[in-house]
Amino acid sequence: MDGKVSTVTKTVYVSSNGRAVTVFRRPDFYYALTNPKGELKLYFPSSNEVFSRTDPALASGEELLMLFLLGRASDLGLSNFGYKGSVSVREEGFIKRTFTSPEAARPTVEIVYDNYLPIYCCYTDPSGRVLSKKYFSHYIRESRFVFPGRVDDITYNAHKKDSTVVRTLYSNLQIDSSAPEFDFEIPAGAKPVQIDPTTLK
Amino acid sequence: MKKLIVTIVALLSMAAFASAANYTVNEEAVDALIENSAAITSVDVCAQAVATSSSTAVAAKAIQPVVALILDFFLGGFGVHRHYMGTSKAMWALYTFTLGGIFGIVPLVDLIMLIIGTVNDDISRYIGNTSFFMWA
């Protein structure tokens, strides 16, 4: 079994008005701008192209950093997608809640908390098979909020008896920074990316 | 020999991900697995997937549901299965930007929908679908 690894490096700039600018640096350099309305723009400086999309799921409020900033990390944003949480139960010294969606096809989600901070999240399909597990650790504590410095995400592939592991490491968390990226705007001359699904038929 | 060592580390890592406390991950195992894996770029993978779907579109080939399922299993977090089935150019960036499709929820639901579609022998609604939520 040969493992493959891909590394993505990004910096997230979140403003108090909910505007988020994410600068992806590896493996490709591009900007992602979002706002609470779910208006997303992806700008690729190398080709001066911009891709636009509006979708509630893409709202800046769904970014992990924003969830913790706004104090909505208790359900990791699941309530925005119609999930309802069960009564909390205590297990092995932790608190556990189960979240279910009114749509039967969607996975069931279990979140485990330590001192009210999520440390574990498990997705299970309707048949009971574990689809993925996420672990939140190394919480960074600032004066106004806390944020996980490390997120490990393991997605299980039942057919190939293999898995995909995503390790996300957050660092250099700054509050009240004055970086110019907060005010980044896409150049006026950027070319909109055309979407033509007919070419794929 | 090196391959054998990497395989042993990977197997031990797979078995040791969940420590005795079920809700914490074995960080050393995860770090070792990543350190011992060959580096690729997500752009390379998506470029291959897009090139494949483009080259076969001229021949009007049928999208293979099983291939879409496998791509979703392995690389769902990068939206590769979406590019195989045909979607907008920047879909991979959307999936990556949302940390693998909103913490992995989107590719997981994609997977369930693809399984249902495969059983019913109809995934046509997902082919050429440019919506982030392909099932919506």
**Largest Cα span, chain A:** 57
Please report the residues numbered 35 through 74 in chain B whose beta carbons come closer than 8 angstroms to any beta carbon of chain A: 36-45, 53-54, 57, 60, 69-70, 73-74
In this predicted structure, what is the pLDDT of residue A147? Answer: 86
- Distance CA(B93)–CA(A24), nearest Å, equals 10
- Distance CA(B45)–CA(B24), nearest Å, equals 31
If pLDDT is split at 50, 70 and 90, which confidence band does A26 have? confident
- Cβ of residue B88 closer than 8 Å to a chain A Cβ: yes
If pLDDT is split at 50, 70 and 90, which confidence band does A62 have? low
Q: What ipTM was assigned to the predicted interfaces of this complex? A: 0.73
Nearest to A31 by CA among A197, A180, A149, A175: A180
Helix, strand, coil distribution of chain B in percent, nearest 5: 60, 5, 35
**Domain parsing of chain B, residue ranges:** 2-35, 42-126
In this predicted structure, what is the pLDDT of residue B62? Answer: 58
DSSP assigned state of B98: T
Whole-model pTM: value is 0.61
DSSP string, A8-74: -EEEEEE-TTS-EEEEEEESS-EEEEE-TT-EEEEEETTTTEEEEEE-GGGSGGGSHHHHHHTT-GG
Domains, chain A, with CATH or none: 1-62+173-201 (no CATH), 76-170 (2.50.20.10)
Average pLDDT, chain B: 69
Are β-strands B38-40 and A4-6 bridged in parallel, bridged antiparallel, or unpaired? parallel
- Cβ of residue B120 closer than 8 Å to a chain A Cβ: no
- Cβ of residue B12 closer than 8 Å to a chain A Cβ: no
- Out of A82-86, A181-185, B52-56, B122-126, which region has the weakest mean confidence (pLDDT)? B52-56
| Contact: A51, B93; criterion CB under 8 Å | yes
- Which among B23, B107, B127 is the nearest to A112, CB-wise? B23
- Which among A32, A53, A125 is the nearest to B112, CB-wise? A125
Is the confidence at residue B18, as pLDDT, over 60? no
